[in-house]
Structure 1
Amino acid sequence: MSEIVQLERQIEEAKAVVEQRDMMVKLTNNREFKKLIVEGFMKDECSRYTHLSTQPGISLQDRADALAAAQAAGHLKRWINAIIMMGNNAEGELGEAKELLDELRAEAADAAQAESFTYAGTEIEV
């Protein structure tokens, strides 16, 4: 696979990661998301599970389940942050990749032009 094709594929993948980041930012700024997910689940529900996990009258399995459920907010927050960070990194790499792709295409065009020339209306390959 040529370097140009690899860069084109890398650029498309980076664009997809940036698009996913943009969707995540839009989602996390949404009023309903903040109310239902951040406040309702990540704060209230996970807090309830934390309290439940400390109850002395529940079985060890129920305690472990409650603690695992309480940790869900942390896992979700880490995943959201990872999506945003990967998008930020991809956006930074996108400009560099586009510049390199332009350079490689220019070099390929120069090389192709140097391999042939026209003499008296006839193209001659060198």
Structure 2
Amino acid sequence: MSDIQALEEQKLLAKAVQVQRDRLVRLTNNADFRALITEGFLKEECARYTHLSTDPSLSKDDRADALASAQSAGHFKRWVNAVIAMGNQAEKDIKDMDEALAELRSESTEDDEG
């Protein structure tokens, strides 16, 4: 595989990461998403689970389950932030790859002419 082909494949992968980021950003900006997921689950429901995790009337296992459920908001937020960060990096990488591809193609053209 040539350097150009390898870079083109890397660029396709980076574009897929960028598309995933763009979809996630659109989704998180959606009013229904904010109402149902951000407010309804990540804030209200996870707060309820936090309270349950300290309820002495629940069994130890139920309290542990409630705590694990409460932590889901943090896991989800970390995943969202990671997808966005990887998409941002992919966007920068695509620009670098485009420059490298242009340089490789010009070198290839010069070699063909020479």
Give me the TM-score of the superposition, normalised by structure 2: 0.97
Question: Which residue does the alignment assign to 2:65?
Answer: 65
Question: Percent of aligned pairs with the same residue?
Answer: 57
| Partner Cα separation in structure 2 for residue 110 and residue 13 of structure 1 | 29
How many angstroms does 1:2 deviate by? 1.4
Q: Is 1:74 aligned with 2:69?
A: no
How many angstroms does 1:60 deviate by? 1.0
The letter of the residue matching 1:93 is D
Aligned to 1:56, the other structure's residue is in SS state coil
How many angstroms does 1:112 deviate by? 1.7
How many angstroms does 1:66 deviate by? 0.4
| Partner Cα separation in structure 2 for residue 96 and residue 80 of structure 1 | 25
Question: Which residue does the alignment assign to 2:43?
Answer: 43
Runs of at least 4 residues off by over 3 Å:
none
| Partner Cα separation in structure 2 for residue 67 and residue 18 of structure 1 | 33
| Partner Cα separation in structure 2 for residue 30 and residue 74 of structure 1 | 20
The letter of the residue matching 2:59 is S
Aligned to 2:81, the other structure's residue is in SS state helix
Which moved further from structure 2: 26-35 or 102-111?
Answer: 102-111
Q: CA RMSD in A?
A: 0.7
How many angstroms does 1:108 deviate by? 1.0
Aligned to 1:57, the other structure's residue is in SS state coil
Segments of structure 1 that go 5 or more residues without pairing to the other structure are: 115-126
How many angstroms does 1:93 deviate by? 1.1
Q: Is 1:83 aligned with 2:83?
A: yes
How many angstroms does 1:49 deviate by? 0.4
Segments of structure 2 that go 5 or more residues without pairing to the other structure are: none
| Partner Cα separation in structure 2 for residue 99 and residue 21 of structure 1 | 22
The letter of the residue matching 2:64 is A
The letter of the residue matching 1:35 is A
Larger relative helix fraction: 2
| Partner Cα separation in structure 2 for residue 33 and residue 95 of structure 1 | 31
Question: Which residue does the alignment assign to 1:123?
Answer: none
How many angstroms does 1:23 deviate by? 0.6
| Partner Cα separation in structure 2 for residue 36 and residue 58 of structure 1 | 27
Question: Which residue does the alignment assign to 2:11?
Answer: 11
